[in-house]
C-alpha cells in the first residue's frame, strides 16, 4: 500500500545519511544495513556518506558516528551473511518533542554539523515511533531531513507489512530445533524423558511460538502443545493436553512463548527488570512450565530456552528473510532519494503459492506503536496449535537456505572496522 498523502515528498540536494540499528538485533538486520549502504553508494549525487550511529540513536546524540565509507565493498557485502547488529544497537526511547525538546535540538546540532539530510532507522514498533518523531523535527525545528523507517523485528508484530525481516529466520530456527529435539525425546521417552519444553521469544505476539508448529504436519507430530501470549494460560486444560499427548504418543513436546500469561495478565515468568521502553524483561517460562508438568504429572522432562540463540542463528537463516531484509534497506534509500519522508518500506504478499511479494511505502504514523498479534483463526479451537491458515502464512517465510561461508568449520562472519567520524562539536551529550 502506498500513501502519498500522509508522507511528504521533496527533492533534496546532496546530503549525508545517518543509519542506525535499534532494539533487539536479528540474524538479518545487517543484510538491511548492506541494502542501505550498497544502494546509497549507487547514488553519489544524492547521498554523500552514510554515517552509522554507534549503538543506534545514542551514536547520533553523542556524536559517535561510524564512517561506513571506510568499510570495503567486501565488508559491506559480507554484512549480508553476518548476524547481530554490526554497528551496535540501542534500546532508547526518544520522548515527544514537547517533553524533551533538548534531545531533538541535540540531534539537529549533530545532523547539521555533519550535513545529514537522510535518517534511516532500522527497528521494530518502538523504533518506528522514534523514526516518526525524528521525521517531524524537520518542520517543527526548521531542519530539513528525510526520514525512513526500516522494519526489523523477530517478534513479527509490525502492522501493514506482511512480515518483519528477522522473523523468517527465527521461525526457521525454531521449527528446525523443535523437529530435531522432538526426534530426540521420541527416542528416549519409553524409559526416560517424556516431556521437552522449548521457550521462545515474542513478548506480546506468538508468531515465533506459532512457527514451532511448522515442525510437524500430523496431529501426532510434535509440537503437541503451543502456548501463545494471545491465549490466556489455563493450567488444568494445559496439563490435560500434556497427559493426553503422553498417553497417546508416548511423549509431549511443548513450545512456550516467553509472553505466556494468566487471564489476569500476569506473565508466567517475569525476570523482574524493565527496559528503556518500560517492557518487562521476560525469560524463564520454560522451566516454570516444565516444573508444573513434573509436579502435577510426574513426568521426567528437559527444557531449553532458545533466547539469543534463536535471533542470532544466521547459519540456518531463511533465504526469503535475507532477501527481504536486504530489499527493505534498498527500498528505504530509494524512497528517501525520491523525497518520501515519514514512510516505511513494507512487504506486501502478492500470493502464497507460489510465494510472491513486493515492497511498498506505508506511513510511519500508521505503524508506530501498533502491535500485530496472531489472529484467532491462526490458532486451533483448543488454543494449543496452529491452523492450516497459519501454516499457509508461515511456510513461505522460512523457505530456502542462505548459508554463510564457513572457515575452519565455523561460519565466517565479518567485523567492521568501525572507524569514528571526527567530532565537530565542542558540546557533549550524556544519555
154 and 306 Cβ atoms separated by less than 8 Å: no
Would you say 308 or 406 has its CB closer to ligand F6P? 308
Exposure string of 191-228, with b = 16+ CB inside 10 Å and e = fewer, is eebbbbbbbbbbbbbbbbbbbbbbbbeeeebbbbbbbb
d(C-alpha 249, C-alpha 189), whole Å:
10
> Segment contacting ligand F6P (CB under 6 A): 181-189, 274-282, 338-346, 377-385?
274-282
Residue 85 lies near ligand F6P (rule: CB under 6 A): no
Cell numbers linked to 67: 564512517
Contact flags string 116-155 toward ligand F6P, x per CB under 6 A? --------x----------------------------xxx
Would you say 281 or 358 has its CB closer to ligand F6P? 281
Residue 205 lies near ligand F6P (rule: CB under 6 A): no
Q: How far is the CB of 400 from ligand F6P (least distance, A)?
A: 23
d(C-alpha 224, C-alpha 169), whole Å:
22
Distance of CA 272 to the CA centre of its chain: 23
Residue 315 lies near ligand F6P (rule: CB under 6 A): no
Cell numbers linked to 142: 526548521
Beta strand 195-200 with 280-282 is unpaired
Would you say 155 or 321 has its CB closer to ligand F6P? 155
Residue 56 lies near ligand F6P (rule: CB under 6 A): no
Q: How far is the CB of 280 from ligand F6P (least distance, A)?
A: 9
Length of the chain measured in residues = 431
Q: How far is the CB of 318 from ligand F6P (least distance, A)?
A: 16
Cell numbers linked to 35: 541494502
Q: How far is the CB of 277 from ligand F6P (least distance, A)?
A: 9
d(C-alpha 111, C-alpha 120), whole Å:
13
> Segment contacting ligand F6P (CB under 6 A): 126-134, 196-204, 229-237, 421-429?
196-204
- Range list of H helices, 28-163: 29-41, 57-61, 73-79, 101-113, 125-141
Cell numbers linked to 371: 502491535
Would you say 48 or 213 has its CB closer to ligand F6P? 213
Would you say 307 or 395 has its CB closer to ligand F6P? 307
Residue 325 lies near ligand F6P (rule: CB under 6 A): no
Would you say 38 or 157 has its CB closer to ligand F6P? 157
Residue 307 lies near ligand F6P (rule: CB under 6 A): no
Residue 229 lies near ligand F6P (rule: CB under 6 A): no
67, 221, 270, 275: residue in contact with ligand F6P (rule CB under 6 A): 275
User: Cβ contacts of residue 270 below 8 Å, gap of 6+?
Assistant: 280, 281, 282
> Segment contacting ligand F6P (CB under 6 A): 66-74, 199-207, 345-353, 357-365?
199-207
Q: How far is the CB of 396 from ligand F6P (least distance, A)?
A: 22
User: Cβ contacts of residue 90 below 8 Å, gap of 6+?
Assistant: 20, 21, 22, 53, 55, 56, 57, 58, 59
Residue 306 lies near ligand F6P (rule: CB under 6 A): no
Would you say 203 or 314 has its CB closer to ligand F6P? 203
Q: How far is the CB of 386 from ligand F6P (least distance, A)?
A: 19
Number of residues that bind ligand F6P (CB under 6 A): 15
Would you say 162 or 258 has its CB closer to ligand F6P? 258
Cell numbers linked to 406: 564457513
202, 286, 383, 396: residue in contact with ligand F6P (rule CB under 6 A): 202
Residue 224 lies near ligand F6P (rule: CB under 6 A): no
Instruction: Give me the phi and psi of 119, to 5 degrees please.
Output: -125, 115
80, 133, 203, 204: residue in contact with ligand F6P (rule CB under 6 A): 203
Residue 281 lies near ligand F6P (rule: CB under 6 A): yes
Active site positions, annotated = 155
Reading across the β-sheet that carries 15-21, which strands appear in turn? 65-67, 47-53, 15-21, 116-123, 146-151, 343-351, 356-363
Where in 358-397 is the site for ligand F6P (CB under 6 A)?
none
Total Cβ atoms within 10 A of residue 382:
12
Residue 55 lies near ligand F6P (rule: CB under 6 A): no
Beta strand 343-351 with 252-257 is unpaired
User: Cβ contacts of residue 426 below 8 Å, gap of 6+?
Assistant: none
Would you say 200 or 292 has its CB closer to ligand F6P? 200
Binding residues vs ligand F6P (CB under 6 A): 23-24, 91, 124, 153-155, 201-203, 258, 275, 281-282, 311
Amino acid at each position: 500500500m502506498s500513501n502519498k498523502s500522509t508522507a511528504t515528498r521533496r527533492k533534496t540536494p546532496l546530503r549525508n545519511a545517518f543509519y542506525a540499528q535499534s532494539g533487539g538485533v536479528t540474524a538479518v538486520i545487517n543484510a538491511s544495513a548492506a541494502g542501505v549502504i550498497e544502494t546509497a553508494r549507487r547514488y553519489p549525487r544524492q547521498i554523500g556518506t552514510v554515517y552509522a550511529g554507534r549503538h543506534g540513536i545514542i551514536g547520533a546524540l553523542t556524536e559517535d558516528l561510524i564512517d561506513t565509507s571506510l568499510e570495503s565493498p567486501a565488508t559491506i557485502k559480507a554484512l549480508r551473511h553476518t548476524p547481530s547488529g554490526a554497528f551496535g544497537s540501542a534500546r532508547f526511547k526518544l520522548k515527544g518533542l514537547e517533553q524533551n525538546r533538548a534531545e531533538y535540538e541535540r540531534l539537529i546540532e549533530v545532523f547539521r554539523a555533519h550535513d545529514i539530510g537522510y535518517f534511516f532507522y532500522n527497528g521494530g514498533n518502538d523504533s518506528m515511533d522514534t523514526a516518526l518523531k525524528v521525521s517531524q523535527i524537520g518542520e517543527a525545528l526548521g531542519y530539513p531531513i528525510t526520514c525512513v523507517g526500516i522494519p526489523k523485528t523477530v517478534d513479527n508484530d509490525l502492522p501493514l507489512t506482511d512480515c518483519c525481516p528477522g522473523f523468517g529466520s527465527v521461525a526457521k530456527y525454531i521449527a528446525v530445533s523443535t523437529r530435531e529435539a522432538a526426534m530426540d525425546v521420541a527416542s528416549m521417552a519409553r524409559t526416560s524423558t517424556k516431556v521437552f519444553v522449548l521457550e521462545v521469544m515474542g513478548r506480546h505476539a506468538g508468531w515465533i511460538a506459532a512457527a514451532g508448529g511448522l515442525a510437524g504436519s500430523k496431529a501426532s507430530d510434535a509440537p503437541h502443545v503451543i502456548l501463545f501470549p494471545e491465549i490466556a494460560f489455563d493450567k488444568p486444560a494445559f496439563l490435560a493436553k500434556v497427559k493426553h499427548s503422553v498417553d497417546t504418543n508416548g511423549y509431549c513436546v511443548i513450545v512456550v512463548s516467553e509472553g505466556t500469561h494468566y487471564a489476569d495478565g500476569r506473565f508466567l515468568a517475569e525476570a523482574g527488570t524493565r527496559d528503556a521502553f518500560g517492557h518487562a524483561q521476560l525469560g524463564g517460562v520454560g522451566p516454570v512450565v516444565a516444573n508444573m508438568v513434573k509436579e502435577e504429572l510426574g513426568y521426567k522432562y528437559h527444557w531449553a530456552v532458545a533466547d539469543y540463540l534463536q535471533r542470532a542463528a544466521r547459519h540456518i537463516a531463511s533465504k526469503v528473510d535475507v532477501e527481504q531484509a536486504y530489499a527493505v534497506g534498498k527500498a528505504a534509500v530509494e524512497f528517501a532519494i525520491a523525497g518520501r519522508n515519514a514512510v516505511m518500506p513494507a512487504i506486501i504478499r502478492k500470493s502464497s503459492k507460489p510465494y510472491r511479494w513486493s515492497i511498498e511505502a506505508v506511513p510511519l504514523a500508521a505503524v508506530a506503536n501498533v502491535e500485530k498479534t496472531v489472529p484467532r483463526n491462526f490458532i486451533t479451537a483448543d488454543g494449543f496449535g496452529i491452523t492450516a491458515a497459519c501454516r499457509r502464512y508461515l511456510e513461505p517465510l522460512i523457505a530456502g537456505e542462505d548459508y554463510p561461508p564457513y572457515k575452519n568449520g565455523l561460519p565466517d562472519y565479518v567485523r567492521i572496522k568501525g572507524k569514528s567520524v571526527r567530532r565537530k562539536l565542542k558540546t557533549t551529550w550524556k544519555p
